[in-house]
């Protein structure tokens, strides 16, 4: 076989191996989400999780709301926003909420060079070190991971934190605010994805997050479901 043919064959083989690896990673994600849904149902738990913050306008209002219901949540902070408003994360921690890592810059691992995605994770943990342990929970930006990012998190023994219910607060068109409530009730619990950033965010989105959060808190209390951070699930 000629040199060019050997090179072409190696490229095809490498591409096939990479595709197989990513397919396995996606399959693992689906299994983990299914197991998470079952665990929430068995425990009768609703876990409220907030990504992309802290938001100077929204996060403090969420903290007040959670305090009124004596509930705790998990906040997956973005390193670059924590650098701007560290005092807000200090308050999140002081109020007894869990803080996890959501990277530094929110790079989508599927759309970023492998080394950049890995650096974004490492730099996120470094920036969030005052609030997040080196093996603290990680939520992949946009819910995307690769074989490399998954291995990197496994090396640091950091759990990957998925969700089972999307509130829809980042959808192009906002859904009905009780959509997440209906899903949580139908599933007997669940991990709800919300976002607490407020940077260049329309007021209707901020109000939507507050509304959905309170509806979930009210419904959980009415249905006898516990509201707990992921660390207690």
CA atoms within 13 A of residue 155's CA, in its CB half-sphere: 9
195 annotated active-site: yes
* Triad 204, 206, 212: Cα angle to 5°: 95
Considering the candidates 72, 97, 107, 195, report the single residue annotated as catalytic.
195
State how beta strands 74-77 and 45-51 pair.
parallel
106 carries an active-site annotation? no
The answer to whether 230 touches 49, Cβ cutoff 8 Å, is yes
Q: In this structure, what token pair is assigned to residue 65?
A: 């709301």
First-to-last CA distance in the chain? Answer: 57
Q: Catalytic site residues?
A: 51, 195
């Amino acid at each position: 076989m000629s040199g060019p043919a050997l090179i072409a064959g190696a490229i095809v083989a490498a591409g096939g191996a990479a595709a197989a690896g990513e397919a396995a990673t996606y399959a693992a994600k689906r299994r983990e989400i299914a197991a998470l849904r079952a665990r929430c149902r068995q425990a009768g738990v609703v876990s409220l999780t907030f990504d992309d913050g802290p938001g100077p306008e929204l996060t403090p209002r969420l903290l007040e709301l959670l305090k009124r219901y004596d509930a705790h949540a998990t906040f997956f902070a973005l390193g670059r926003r924590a650098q701007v408003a560290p005092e807000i994360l200090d308050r999140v921690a002081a109020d007894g909420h869990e803080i996890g890592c959501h990277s530094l810059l929110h790079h989508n691992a599927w759309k970023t060079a492998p080394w950049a995605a890995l650096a974004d994770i490492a730099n996120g943990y470094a920036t969030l070190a005052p609030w997040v342990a080196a093996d603290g929970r990680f939520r992949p930006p946009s819910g995307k991971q690769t074989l490399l990012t998954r291995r990197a998190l496994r090396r640091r023994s950091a759990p990957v934190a998925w969700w089972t219910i999307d509130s829809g607060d980042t959808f192009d068109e906002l859904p009905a605010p009780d959509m997440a409530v209906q899903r949580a009730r139908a599933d007997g619990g669940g991990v709800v994805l919300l976002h607490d950033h407020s940077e260049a965010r329309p007021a209707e989105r901020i109000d939507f997050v507050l509304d959905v959060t309170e509806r979930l808190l009210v419904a959980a209390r009415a249905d006898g479901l516990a509201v707990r951070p992921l660390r207690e699930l």
